[in-house]
Amino acid sequence: MNQSAVGSLVPRQAPGSYGLPFVSAIRDRLDFYYFQGEAKYFESRVEKHGSTVLRINVPPGPFMARDPRVVAVLDAKSFPVLFDVDKVEKKNLFTGTYMPSTSLTGGFRVCSYLDPSEPTHTKVKQLLFSLLASRKDAFIPAFRSHFSSLLATVESQLVLGGKSNFNTLNDATSFEFIGDAYFGVLPSASDLGTTGPTKAAKWLIFQLHPLVTLGLPMILEEPLLHTVHLPPILVSGDYKALYKYFYAAATKALDTAEGLGLKRDEACHNLLFATVFNSYGGLKVLLPGILARIAGAGEKFHQKLVAEIRAAVADAGGKVTIEALEKMELTKSAVWEALRLDPPVKFQYGRAKADMNIESHDAVFAVKKGEMLFGYQPCATRDPRVFGSTAREFVGDRFVGEEGRKLLQYVYWSNGRETESPSVDNKQCPGKNLVVLVGRLLVVELFLRYDTFTADVGVDLLGTKV
């Protein structure tokens, strides 16, 4: 159906049902985690109701979240309403229908939970932009140093034992890289020693446990992870150790924060969250995901990447520079394609600021002020109405050329369109361009070193296991 035809339709109620209070929300939670899995949970309901905009319950539900009811937007056309801060409020919705205790963040509501209308949001996002700008020359050398060492370790492990777990190495390496790149201070050279990644992972789980499954029996996981919040006191020592590192390492950034009108302690808790939750948590998912997709693309695709990457680096005098990376159109496309298929953050939320209409490809739906909107991003970014018959497949050159670049507006991983830029006025990831850069650097590092490679790919806690 064309745009004008959709726009002329009479708005109707989104189909679907929330069922019985309490009981239906728990039943749906079991479907989500155990009986169907998250992708099938949404796809089966789209199929049942014949609509990509529908009313459903989302986890975690009772007793963790007061209200599990949402209007789900599950196609490329309707999904971007979640980015429109004129239409939706983002206050306390980073993790959705529940919010972790602020005891996990020093008593502060950090930037991810702030709506752009709140003054502190502007100050913190300005701080993050300032930090990224001040360290822009550090990212490429820091990444190459840390990840060339990682690949050397992979090689030695393959020689000794025949296999190497990329995720384990990536967890340790990414934590070191981020501390080095953002602040010029290696976490391992601080009082944290080598415990940083473990402390960070524990702290992350205490915030995300309502939305994950550890693969334990349902009878254990349901009461342990999905019914009540884990007590923050159990991870307070780990958080204090992380905070101590950031307070010492981020001196220049904290000076900048004071100039922006932020108190030093609030700024430090925000820097910790942005660095550990957003950046480190993101790289834990992103880099294995890219590696898995590239591995699965096969040797012919690898040969094309090898030719492009080595030629661009040779033209730059053997150096990996921003200018050389910009010439690598296929490399950039491959990273965007991995982000399209496997966005590091799959769920987005927003609360309707006023009565409004939401358009899918085929219909218009009325939403009332105060209703919670929810998007499961893989449904939107694998929309066959946009990406055709290969929507669920990795097509490495999908975004190459003028026609390919037109599709970038439907790549949403950064909580915004890939064709748009983060600002203090929106909720798009402030490190959007850095994430794409780091993804490209991983691919470059691989194919400067190897002609081709294979990997066994499985499922990890938050994403892909390689």
Question: Tens digit of pLDDT for each residue in 117-126?
Answer: 999 999 999 9
Q: Output DSSP code: residue 229.
A: P
Cis amide linkage into residue 63, ω under 30° from 0: yes
**For residue 436, pLDDT beyond 90:** yes
The dihedral formed by the CA atoms of 227, 231, 232 and 238, expressed in degrees to the nearest 10: -110
**For residue 189, pLDDT beyond 70:** yes
| Assigned CATH class of 12-465 | mainly alpha
**For residue 9, pLDDT beyond 90:** no
pLDDT for the residue 2: 57
Q: Choose among 43, 66, 39, 38: nearest CA to 54.
A: 43
* DSSP-derived 3-state class of residue 348: strand
> Would you tell me how many other CB atoms lie within 10 Å of the CB of residue 95?
19
Sequence-separated (6 or more) residues with CB below 8 Å from residue 110: 124, 269, 270, 273, 274
Strands 458-459 and 88-89: what pairing?
unpaired
Strands 356-359 and 364-367: what pairing?
antiparallel
Please tell me which residue, 1 or 35, carries the higher pLDDT value: 35
| Mean pLDDT, the chain, integer | 96
Q: What is the pLDDT of residues 226-244, one digit of tens each?
A: 999 999 999 999 999 999 9
Sequence-separated (6 or more) residues with CB below 8 Å from residue 258: 264, 267
pLDDT for the residue 444: 98
The dihedral formed by the CA atoms of 397, 402, 406 and 407, expressed in degrees to the nearest 10: -10
d(CA 171, CA 194): 11
Tokens of 350: 């927003």
Which pTM value belongs to this model?
Answer: 0.96
Tell me the mean pLDDT in the region 94-117: 97
Sequence-separated (6 or more) residues with CB below 8 Å from residue 56: 16, 18, 28, 42, 45, 70, 72, 374
Query: Which H helix or E strand runs over 452?
Result: none
pLDDT for the residue 214: 87
Sequence-separated (6 or more) residues with CB below 8 Å from residue 388: none
Rg (CA), the chain: 22
pLDDT for the residue 461: 76
Cα dist from 48 to 51, 170, 377, whole Å = 8, 40, 19
